[in-house]
Structure formats: C-alpha cells, structure tokens
Amino acid sequence: MNAIFLSVIVPAYNESARIAHTISAVTSEIDRLGVEAELIVVDDGSTDRTASIVADASRADPRVKLVQAPHAGKGAAVRRGMLEAKGEWRFLADADLSMPISELQRFLGTGREAPSGDVLAGSREAAGATRIGEPWPRHAIGRVFNWVVKLFVLRGVDDTQCGFKLFSARAAETLFPLQRLDGFGFDVEILFLARRAGLVIREIPMTWTYGRKSKVSVASGARGFLDLVTIRWNQLRGVYPPAVRPGRPLADATPPAARSKGRSW
C-alpha cells in the first residue's frame, strides 16, 4: 500500500442533509489532484443519520473512513481525526464546505514550498478574501471575536475561525495532543500553541459563502469568548509547554502530564 500523502478531516454533527454531498465533493477533488489520500469523517455523536450515510460511503470507497465518537464538541472531533490520520499533510474542512474544496490545491502548493512545521490557515480577512451573503449579526460577532483574540491571545492572525486549515503530520502530532478545548475556541488554542512552538502561521485569503444552516450563533460566540479566558488561564497555570524562539525545530509532542522534568519542546 502506498503511503498516504493527504488526510482530509471533516468533523460532523447532525449533518445528514449535506454530508453525502461533502463526501462526493472531497473525493472528486482528491481524484482531480491524483494523490494518495484518505477522507476521515469524525461523527461527533450525531443523533440523525450522519454516521450511517458515512458508513455507506465508506463501503463504496475505502478512502472514506468513519470515526464515531461521543458528542463532545467540534474541537474534540477535530483532535480525534487529526491524531487518527496517516497523511503527510492533514487538511481540516468544515462539513458545510462554505469555501470551495478546489482551494485545497492552493493549500498543498503553498505547503510544499513552506517549511514542514508551518501551519496554513484559511482567512476571510486577509487581503483578497471575499465574504458572500453574511448576515450583519454574524459579521459583528466575528469582528468582535477576532478583535478580542488579537488583543488578548494571538496577535498577527486576522482570522482564527476559518474552517480550512492545513497541518504537516509533524505539526499535527505536536499540537493536537496538547489541545485542551473541545468547543468553539479550539482553533484559537491550536494556533496559539503553534505560535508558542515557534511555527509560522501563514494565512491564505479565501472566498467564503455563508450557509443558512451555519451552527455559529450568539450562544456559541459567547462560549468562544469564555474559551479565550480559558486559554489564558491554562497558560498561567503552566498547562501548555513554554514558548520557544521562532525558527527552532519542533520536538516530539509530549502531553504536559508526562513532562515532570526538563523542557518539553
């Protein structure tokens, strides 16, 4: 069996209305790219037919893999998928594909030119990005959230919440074992950890289309703000590894509990 070049991880919770289309779109793009790849759909304890639809797709196409997990949140589902993936590159995509999956080629092209430790993050705020059909309340929540992120947690990143992100295997296996947040704010935490690990975060401008079935709400936004407080509290308590100077090579990922002595990165 050939080595897997690319893993696409899709977290899914009650996505029966669109998961079949998402699987078809992703596998068609993999075919177009002509790379050895797997598509991992992590079902986050759905109560609808999401898991059975993915299971049917898996029987028809062995590249499609279903991972079933108890309902714990998007962050937990992404962590599970990233750590079960086998690909040299690991691409995160939201189930609604609110950005064209054809952008995957651009991520891979940039990834090949970048150091293996870099993290590539899609951005709806970077120069050249476009937003289509976004309601003003959703836009306002996002702008305030981004402002607070940059003020208190992570400067220099314009959009932490975009659903497309690409990690090298080494970066994923270093960062995701250290992730502590299971909900809305996990993106910020992962990028915060990447910055502390000395990785370069590169933003790629995206065209993003608002979906009417988007699961981002005022309530989830409020939980996101609480997650930012948790990230800072975790830092103060020494839950995360100490920061390293940019440009230093990554070390193996070691969960904080296993690091009773010495530095961890």
* 261 is a domain residue: no
- Block residue for tokens 């590249």: 63
* 117 is a domain residue: yes
We report the CATH number of the domain holding residue 241 as 3.90.550.10
> DSSP state, 98?
-
For 237-253, write each residue's pLDDT tens digit: 999 999 876 555 555 44
* 194 is a domain residue: yes
* 258 is a domain residue: no
Confidence of residue 256 (pLDDT cuts 50, 70, 90): very low
**pTM score, two decimals?**
0.86
> DSSP state, 17?
T
* 254 is a domain residue: no
For 20-56, write each residue's pLDDT tens digit: 999 999 999 999 999 999 999 999 999 999 999 999 9
Q: CA-CA distance, 53 to 172, in Å (whole number)?
A: 27
Tokens of 39: 């598509």
The SS3 assignment for 67 reads strand
Confidence of residue 163 (pLDDT cuts 50, 70, 90): confident
- Number of domains into which the chain is organized: 1
